[in-house]
Amino acid sequence: MSRLVNRDNAVRIGILIWLTTVWVALWGDLSIANVVAGLVVAVVVVFALPLPLIPVAGWFHPLSFLKLIVVSTYYALESSLQVAWFSIRPSGPPVSGVLRVHLAFQSDLVLVMCTDLLNLIPGTMVLELDRPRCVVYVHVLDVGSDAAVEKFYRITRRLEGLMIDTFERPGERRRIDPASEVQS
């Protein structure tokens, strides 16, 4: 119990520091008055307007996190170039569609972080999240060929594996039937 209390306090202190830093950055002036004002606003936000507690279970693996950053940045850049190419190529627009993806996360927080990561990749947008079944429906810009669909699922599986390696304990992955992923 004391470990949990210490973790909660550490999170609150981190949020206070982050909100104060954002306040100072928005004002663009590092002064004592600005830092104190930012700290007062941060205290009001954290204690007067608390967010519901999200159960956090699992671990944070820094090396896996670095790999996740590198891989997701690569996919974002690759996708940006693909979207740019689609906008200037001489043929018509690509065939887009909605694909269903079953994910293997145990944590709601990791599921939300993964959907946010998918939204950051140009050409994709999460439309719906079914938490009880751990399914997301993603609008994908290019589903014109089987290879494009397979590439989307391959990228999603790689990001999912990296998210699990980074934020969840080993062996906490749900079992998924690969045949259940078909175009919607």
Domains contained in the chain, number: 2
| pLDDT tens by residue, 81-109 | 989 998 898 888 889 999 999 998 888 88
Domain that holds residue 41: 2-48
Residue 26 is predicted with a pLDDT of 93
Does residue 57 form part of some domain? no
Question: Which of 94, 16, 95, 3 has the alpha carbon at shortest distance from 48?
Answer: 16
Instruction: List Cβ neighbours of 30 (8 Å cut-off, separation of 6 or more).
Output: 24
Residues 94, 84: Cα–Cα separation, whole Å: 12
Does residue 79 form part of some domain? yes
Does residue 168 form part of some domain? yes
Q: Is 124 exposed, middle or buried (0-12, 13-18, 19+ CB in 10 A)?
A: buried
Question: Which of 80, 160, 151 has the alpha carbon at shortest distance from 118?
Answer: 160
Does residue 56 form part of some domain? no
Does residue 53 form part of some domain? no
Does residue 176 form part of some domain? yes
Answer yes or no: do 67 and 97 share one domain.
Answer: yes
Answer yes or no: do 41 and 68 share one domain.
Answer: no
Answer yes or no: do 8 and 66 share one domain.
Answer: no
Strand order in the sheet with 97-102: 97-102, 135-140, 124-130
Residue 154 is predicted with a pLDDT of 94
| pLDDT tens by residue, 14-68 | 889 999 999 999 999 899 999 999 999 999 998 888 777 766 666 788 999 999 9
Residue 1 is predicted with a pLDDT of 47
What are the phi and psi torsion angles at 64 (to 5°)? -65, -35
Answer yes or no: do 43 and 132 share one domain.
Answer: no
Answer yes or no: do 41 and 67 share one domain.
Answer: no
Residue 184 confidence (pLDDT) above 60: no
| pLDDT tens by residue, 104-130 | 888 888 888 899 999 988 889 999 999
